[in-house]
Amino acid sequence: MSFDSAKYGEEVAAILALDGSGERLMPLSGGRCSSRAASAHLTRTTARELFGRSRAPEAALSGLWLYFSCLDESHSMSQAIHTPDGSFWHGIMHRQEPDPTNSGYWFRRVGGHPVFPKLAEEAARLTLETSNAGAVGEPLSRPRVSSTWDPFAFIDFCEQARRHPGSVEETLALRIQRAEWQILFDYCASPA
């Protein structure tokens, strides 16, 4: 999957460039803000300034905070967004905390989301790619691949992967999580 940070404007691209330009593999659990410069920049701006024409400006900004593993800031924003988009970011944040039960609560509030089909397709592609790459060792498990995205199965998969650092599962979970971020961020940050 290709991600072009320039699509969201020069300022957003410059912020994302502070750590991977939207290609960063966010940790499956915890972590701390990965870029002081990004945190400082995000603190000085507003959702409307960065995403004035987007479908969901506040949700997009919550996603930026999450991208840099600034969990408290992302949490504060997503908790105040009473839409499926806000609940989605909130669910991801709690999955990374890690608090799988709370994550599940927020994903139940998401219901079905318009990005689920694209995310299911990308997760299936990444799973197949990982299988075909001849990864060393037999995988412990794989996320359930189907035509629909199951955020609860992914919470469980991330929990298992987190307990096996360096495993094929961890690599796959990190790559699917990045795709999840990219797809949801694109949905929120793009014009309606």
Tens digit of each residue's pLDDT (9 = 90 or more) over 160-172:
999 999 999 999 9
Asked if residue 1 belongs to a domain, the reply is no
Going 101 to 92 to 117 to 81, the CA torsion angle's sign is positive
Confirm if 15 and 35 have CB atoms less than 8 A apart. no
Asked if residue 66 belongs to a domain, the reply is yes
Q: Given pLDDT bands bounded at 50, 70 and 90, which one contains residue 30? A: confident
Asked if residue 71 belongs to a domain, the reply is yes
The set of residues, in sequence order, having a beta carbon less than 8 Å from that of 67 and lying 6+ positions away, is 16, 19, 22, 24, 26, 181, 185
Tens digit of each residue's pLDDT (9 = 90 or more) over 70-129:
999 999 999 999 999 999 999 999 999 999 999 999 999 999 999 999 999 999 999 988
CA terminus-to-terminus distance, the chain = 22
In this prediction, residue 92 carries a pLDDT of 98
- The number of folded domains in the chain is 1
Could you tell me the residue range of the domain that residue 160 belongs to? 7-189
Asked if residue 2 belongs to a domain, the reply is no
